[in-house]
Structure 1
Amino acid sequence: MAALAPTLAGCGAAGRLAAVGKPPKMTTQENVPTPPWERSIATSGMNERLEAGARAAPAEAPVQTASIFRAGAAGLFRDQRASRTGDILTIRINVQDRAIVDNATQRSRTSSENAGLASLLGLEGLLQDVLPGQPDTGNLVESESESRSAGQGNTSRSETINLTMSAVVTSVLPNGNLVIRGRQEIRVNFELRELILTGMIRPQDIARDNSIRHSQIAEARISYGGRGQLTDLQQTRWAQQIYDALFPF
């Protein structure tokens, strides 16, 4: 067992044994830095709720002004579309990709060679003593070759993903573009489905309802998968994976 323990740990079996009978754990939420905000007279009730939630994490003191309606997360006249770090926007993912690739290749080649010397420069007598039979000096070298090859490949792929999720603005680039990150996890019984999205967007591409399509996200990374018992059943055993990687035939 002592010799087997490192092998099990390296293959992830120890972690799977520890999770027997337990649902998969959800990922810990990460804190997103947000800029300071200032109390607004027009939305005092909302600001009081925000203050109650922000007392545990003191932020930089906002600059006081004499304006009746001040700019903030809940400003009355502020554009409610995401534009600053910590703002939230809706991502609409509608992927309907279809690709068909069909290639066919055929190749054929035939060649022949025939070379010889009629009298072999007077050495045909010596050649007959060395080689058995009656060699023909006029046809000393003769070769023929023929090769044929044919190849055909067909690739067909179709993907359909229709999801809606929310993302948080993690940073604002110097040119005004926004870097966003979104993570959504849903656990049903012993199966955890997770959706992860990161990318970069332009503020002018955000619609009036504070949403944006996935096709307008640059450097998009969308991961849709899961963890749990069903996912484990769909995976090949680690010994079989090692065998497939090392077996040369």
Structure 2
Amino acid sequence: MNARLTFAALLTLACSGCATIVGDVRPYEPMTAPPVAYAPPPASASDGAIYPGSRSLRLFEDNKARGVGDLVTIVLVENTSARAQANTSVSKDSTIDMAAPTIAGVPITYKGNAILQASVEGSRDFEGAGNSSQSNRLSGSVTATVVQDLGNGNLLVRGEKRLRLNQGDELVQVQGIVRTADIGPDNRIPSDRVGDARIVYGGRGTLARSNAMGWLGRFFNSAVYPY
């Protein structure tokens, strides 16, 4: 019985070690951001008013996100398209002819052949063509948290969304700088108004592994392959 338990434990450890080799099951690294002192404000003594400093009850301020810890929804409207095309053609022909010299009207020959007559011809051609196109589209929304007030009307926000689906996990990460003036009354802002934006979309699981190239295929498509 003890031998069976030991074998099962060793098999479990081996399987878990193999799983860490697959690229899509490694844990995601958090997005980097400047150090933020994120602590709740100190409690202040009550001044005896009916509404003692409640932010949600301020008469001359809306509920737009503007402080550390507030939430803002970033609407993903990313749609990029790029295309490049280049064609190059070079051609050059060269010809040099040198007639046989004569001395006193008599050509210089050897056994009836002109030995100093020469002719040189050269030709070279080059043609090159390149074409590249790429298109990306990402839609959806992610609610991020204000992690730092930059003091000039800009806010540093960061957020992520994890989805556990039937055949794997999906992750969306968003980080960037937004202006409080661009935030709508419903605390929503399009992603094309986020400065220094970092948007990461990826997945883990069976579907992600089926779309990934194997290690041997990556080798033949890498720069180290000599052919």
Short-chain TM bin: 0.7 to 0.9
Tell me by how many angstroms 1:243 deviates.
4.1
Given candidates 98, 103, 106, the residue that maps to 2:81 is: 98
* 2:8 corresponds to: none
Q: Distance in 1 between matches of 2:134 and 2:30?
A: 35
* 1:63 corresponds to: 44
TM-score by length of 1: 0.67
* 2:19 corresponds to: 17
Tell me by how many angstroms 1:202 deviates.
0.9
Q: Distance in 1 between matches of 2:150 and 2:96?
A: 70
Q: Distance in 2 between matches of 1:223 and 1:28?
A: 11
Deviates more, 1:109-118 or 1:190-199: 109-118
One-letter code aligned to 2:187 = N
The structure with the largest helix share of the pair is 1
RMSD: 3.6
Contact 1:24 1:191 in 2 (8 A): no
Contact 2:142 2:174 in 1 (8 A): no
Deviations 1:110-149 (A, max 9, x none): 12234577269xxx99x96xxx99453142xx33222222
One-letter code aligned to 1:197 = V
TM-score by length of 2: 0.72
* 1:200 corresponds to: 177
CA shift in 2, pair 1:97/1:241, >3 Å: closer
CA shift in 2, pair 1:204/1:35, >3 Å: farther
The structure with the largest strand share of the pair is 2
Contact 2:86 2:130 in 1 (8 A): yes
SS in 2 for 1:137: coil
Q: Distance in 1 between matches of 2:88 and 2:44?
A: 71
* 1:187 corresponds to: 164
Q: Distance in 1 between matches of 2:25 and 2:116?
A: 83
Tell me by how many angstroms 1:170 deviates.
1.0
Matched, 1:248 2:226: yes
Deviates more, 1:193-202 or 1:238-247: 238-247
Q: What is the identity percentage for the equivalent residue pairs of Structure 1 and Structure 2? A: 25
Contact 1:69 1:76 in 2 (8 A): no
Gaps of 5+ in 1: 1-12, 37-60
Q: Distance in 2 between matches of 1:75 and 1:32?
A: 26
Gaps of 5+ in 2: 1-14
One-letter code aligned to 1:95 = E
Matched, 1:235 2:218: no
